[in-house]
Chain A
Amino acid sequence: MKNSHRSQKIAFFFLFLATLLIVVPVGLIVVVIVEKGLPGINWQFLTDIPRQGMRAGGIFPAIIGTIYLVTGAIIFALPIGLLAAIYLSEYAHDNLLTRMIKLAIVNLAGVPSVVYGLFGLALFVVFFKFGSSILSGSLTLGIMILPVIITTSREALESVPYSFREVSLSLGASKWQTIRHIVLPNAIPGILTGTILGLGRAAGETAPILFTVAAFYLPRLPGSIFDQAMALPYHLYVISTQVPNVDEKIRYGTALVLLALVLFMNLVAIVIRYRFRRKKKW
């Protein structure tokens, strides 16, 4: 009996150790980036174009490029993703087709990001002749975040109690009216969470934009959706591996801006989810 308690203690110690091995490095990574990146960040860094072959100046075009890309991706992915989620939660029957759609979503989520880059290159850049442009990049990122949006939106829709729908239908509302006026409004926080998580994912990815939009060095703002653009993650890759002798402050500063952007979006998503859970009356 004593023995089994001792082995429990030892086992739990190792489990705790495993947890520390994950959580401590994560904390350290964030702390190091914040500590070393913060001194490099000032108004000029955020609003100036890169100068002297990216060894001085700021990262404004990269920030703007990322905002354009993310906006484009969400404009494409949100309507399709939301309607797909509505199909799965409200219309789909439990049959082979539904099973296949779910499997396709899982696979879409699992396709390596660089393969999305290849696909975007083949379809949008070469086949549709959009060239290396914000349009090509946004569409590629849009398809990539589709599974995130579908999955979270579907969960949000399905968490609306069935009785809400029954009441609405029994009052003579049509199926679409019920979805539009009863189900959707109650699912909005969950859908918003999914959308923001998708945004964060799109903002941080590098591989899909490598050959579809990203410009190595473009010290001006893009003029139209058919222009190339700089983007934050690709810029960080470039200044940390492709350009020698970039000041450490600029590298860490860029990493911090990217990290802050992505984590901020995740934080917003978490807060929305948390507040919604507390407010939920059913």
Chain B
Amino acid sequence: MRKFKEFIIEKLVLICGLASIFFVVLIFLFLLKEGLAVFKSVSFFNFLFGKSWYPISEPPQLGILPLIMGSLLVTVGAAIISIPIGVGCAIYIAEVAPLKIKETLKAGIELLAAIPSVVLGFIGMITLVPLVKNIFHLPTGLTALSGAIMLAFMAMPTIVSIAEDALYSVPKNYKEGALALGATHWQVIWRVMLPAASSGILAAVMLGIGRVIGETMAVMMITGNAAVMPGSILVPVRTLTATIAAEMGEAVVGSEHYFALFAIGIVLFVISFAINVTADLFLHKRQ
């Protein structure tokens, strides 16, 4: 009897253990199921590289290049801002900060990670958007730049916490050895710690960028939502995620528009999958 109970429990636990794999596969299958239908009306090439996104014109034009460019522009902008600041902050917390304020700083970073994206979007709309408008004398502050700044903030907690972990797990004798040879603390950080932690820091940056590409609400509220090819960073853009969020409510289930939005979902899923798998490889290389 007891053996039987153990057996049942063991199987139940195994099934739940497999749930994650099951759900990842299920998500992908359902995206494919709804999304692949779009390729009956538009070729794969024209979907990815078509320059016009007019999903409700007749016939609909379903080229997502403007959306990809929008996402790319905002993501690159956010990366340029968040990588130096995020890695710098991680070094400061891991190596320089006095013990007393270390925990406070960490709590501050955790706080930032916990703020819902819609709240950050709201604050960005009220503070950042008018600021960008006034500084650059633009007709509107809802631009790719505003989005990039806001997204940089959302990427930082990820970058800081993972990069800090990477620095922390560098063996102590590396550092002590270099110090004993007469190097300054900064020389040790720059020449010994950073190279030793490089794969972990790379993973941190990649996961931060993954967070930026997938971010939806703040981006939708701040970037102005113009689905046209962006000419500069000071014009409104629309990202892949914002397109889904803004348009799915109006798309009729089973229409080409509906299928196209799911196809965008496939693109996002594939991007995030690639980023996460690669980052995971880097993290395991370190161990």
Contacts and interface: CB of A to CB of B under 8 A. Distances in A.
Interface of A: 4-5, 7-8, 11-12, 14-19, 21-23, 25-27, 29-30, 32-33, 79-81, 83-84, 86-88, 90-92, 100-101, 103-119, 121-123, 126-127, 143, 146-147, 150, 174-176, 200, 203-207, 210-211, 233-234, 236-237, 240-241, 251, 255, 258-259, 262-263, 266, 270
Given A19-B92, A110-B214, A11 B186 contact: yes
Given A115-B31, A118-B261, A237-B221, A176 B6 contact: yes
Contacts of B125: 240-241
B286 to A, nearest CB: 15
Contacts of B279: 106
B111 A266 contact: yes
Contacts of A17: 88
Interface string B137-172: 000000000000000010010001000000000000
Nearest to B21: A104
A16 B112 contact: no
Contacts of B21: 100-101, 104
B92 A15 contact: yes
A233 B85 CA distance: 29
B25 to A, nearest CB: 8
Interface size class of B (residues with CB under 8 A): 35 or more
B85 A21 contact: yes
B216 interface: yes
B13 A205 contact: no
A76 to B, nearest CB: 11
30 contacts: A8-B187, A15-B91, A18-B88, A19-B93, A22-B86, A30-B111, A84-B19, A92-B17, A104-B20, A104-B24, A109-B276, A111-B272, A114-B241, A115-B31, A115-B269, A118-B34, A118-B244, A118-B265, A122-B34, A122-B262, A123-B30, A204-B116, A207-B216, A210-B248, A210-B249, A211-B249, A255-B119, A259-B115, A263-B111, A266-B114
A207 B30 contact: no
Nearest to B264: A118
Contact of A115 (B13, B27, B116, B277): B27
A80 B16 contact: yes
B186 A12 contact: yes
B248 A240 contact: no
A33 B115 CA distance: 12
B41 interface: no
The prevalent SS among residues of B at the interface is: helix
A219 B2 CA distance: 54
Contacts of B34: 118, 122
Contact of A84 (B20, B107, B121, B275): B20
B276 A107 contact: yes
Interface string B179-206: 0000011110110000000000000000
A143 B84 CA distance: 33
B44 interface: no
B123 interface: yes
B183 to A, nearest CB: 8
A180 to B, nearest CB: 9
A116 B2 CA distance: 41
B62 interface: no
A119 B65 CA distance: 23
B92 A83 contact: no
| Centre residue among A33, A150, A206 by max chain B CB count within 10 A | A206
Given A22-B109, A204-B115, A233-B217, 7 more contacts: A26-B108, A110-B210, A115-B268, A210-B249, A233-B118, A237-B221, A255-B119
Contacts of B119: 33, 204, 233, 236, 255, 258-259
B215 interface: yes
B213 interface: yes
Contacts of B187: 4, 8
Nearest to B182: A1
B118 A83 contact: no
A234 B116 CA distance: 11
A207 B220 CA distance: 10
Nearest to B34: A122
Nearest to B272: A110
Contacts of B58: none
Contact of B272 (A4, A81, A112): A112
Contacts of B131: none
Interface centre among A8, A127, A262 (most CB of B within 10 A): A8
A105 B116 contact: no
A105 B121 CA distance: 28
